[in-house]
Amino acid sequence: MFRAAVRLSVSGVRGLTRLQPGCQGALAVRCYSHGKQETDEEFDARWVTYFNKPDIDAWELRKGMNTLIGYDLVPEPKILSAALRACRRLDDLASAIRILEAAKDKSGPHKDIYPYLIQELQPTLDELGIPTPEELGIDKL
Amino acid sequence: MFRLTASRVGGLLARRPAAALTAASSRPSSGEVSRPVDMSRPQYWDRRVSPLPDRPFREALSAEDKALKQKEKGPWGQLSREEKIALYRISFQLTYPEMNQSSSEWKTVLGGIFIFIGLTGLLVIWQSYYVYPPQPLTFDEDWRARQLQRMLDMRVNPVEGFSAKWDYEKGQWK
């Protein structure tokens, strides 16, 4: 929870997962375990590819989203866009709206992340005809 | 509290296959006896951390719902706002704000705690009047005064402790 507060900066919603600044220099005091660390771009690309699978099935969509939301980050708009398109291929509008709700919930106290996501996703939302929870009025109790 | 008679076990066993055959095994609301939920079937849930549960909330659909589901296969722009909400509510029971809403349960909990602490306090007071034996006479004011005087006369801890703090010339504490 605290990592999220520290890592989610105002400037963007990078898929920040692992790299501590201290590990990048020559005087790395504490590093993570062996093996190459995945960069944010690789992480995003991997997930976009996952959701872009043309014949993705409902289980894979659910598994992917539940796993993604389990991570300590807010997904990038491009990942969400791919997930929304996967919902379209599966004829599942409810899941598409749910994904938007989940992304907003993941932002937690950082209230500026969700408007940014919607702004970036607006072309996709318009193209697919996906309403935001606000448009439906289900963002209120 | 577990009075599991033979007839009740038989009843449970008879009811379990029936429960497994029903379409939606729902959790009963408060006040009802809970029926066993068939955990071998996909579950529904409303959880922040896992947005898409294994099954939609409502699986038994009316004719209207089925028509709506057919319409969902077409362009979503053609769905009205109400239809979109209806589609959401077919798949999900609670929205995120509904899921996240806080309850006033903490007031009940805190109130209950204070009530029981209060009752315990009353019990303690009653006990100190009715249960404890009489105090030893060494607790009387008069006895304690004489005890104090005796300690000073004996010069208890005269260097740094008790009697050192008594001013013998003036007959008072320093």
CB contact under 8 A, A138 and B85: yes
CB contact under 8 A, A99 and B78: no
Tell me the nearest-neighbour CA distance from B32 into chain A, angstroms: 27
Note the pLDDT of residue A80. 98
CB contact under 8 A, B49 and A69: yes
Is the minimum CB–CB distance between B75 and chain A shorter than 8 Å?
yes
Q: Is residue B124 packed enough to be buried (19+ CB in 10 Å), middle (13-18) or exposed (0-12)?
A: exposed
Residue A90 in contact with residue A61, Cβ under 8 Å?
yes
Whole-number mean pLDDT of chain A?
Answer: 86
Structure tokens given for B139: 């607790």
Is the minimum CB–CB distance between B62 and chain A shorter than 8 Å?
no
When comparing pLDDT for A9 and B29, which is higher? B29
Is the minimum CB–CB distance between B87 and chain A shorter than 8 Å?
yes
Q: What is the per-residue pLDDT across A55-78, written as a single tens digit (0 to 9) for each?
A: 999 999 999 999 999 999 999 999
Note the pLDDT of residue A33. 81
- pLDDT classification of A139: cutoffs 50, 70, 90: very high
B76 → chain A, closest CA residue: A129
Q: What is the per-residue pLDDT across B12-41, written as a single tens digit (0 to 9) for each?
A: 554 554 444 444 445 666 677 888 889 999
Nearest to A69 among B51, B95, B98 (CB): B51
Is the minimum CB–CB distance between A97 and chain B shorter than 8 Å?
yes
Contact residues, A window 3-62, toward B, CB-based 8 Å cutoff? 61-62
The CA distance from B43 to B122, in Å, is 49
Q: What is the per-residue pLDDT across B38-57, written as a single tens digit (0 to 9) for each?
A: 999 999 999 999 999 999 99
Q: What is the per-residue pLDDT across B109-158, written as a single tens digit (0 to 9) for each?
A: 999 999 999 999 999 999 999 999 999 999 999 999 999 999 999 999 99
CB contact under 8 A, B84 and A131: yes
Contacts of B98 in chain A (CB under 8 A): 141
Look up the pTM and report it. Answer: 0.69
Residue of B54, B56, B77, B53 whose CA lies nearest to B65: B56
ipTM: 0.77
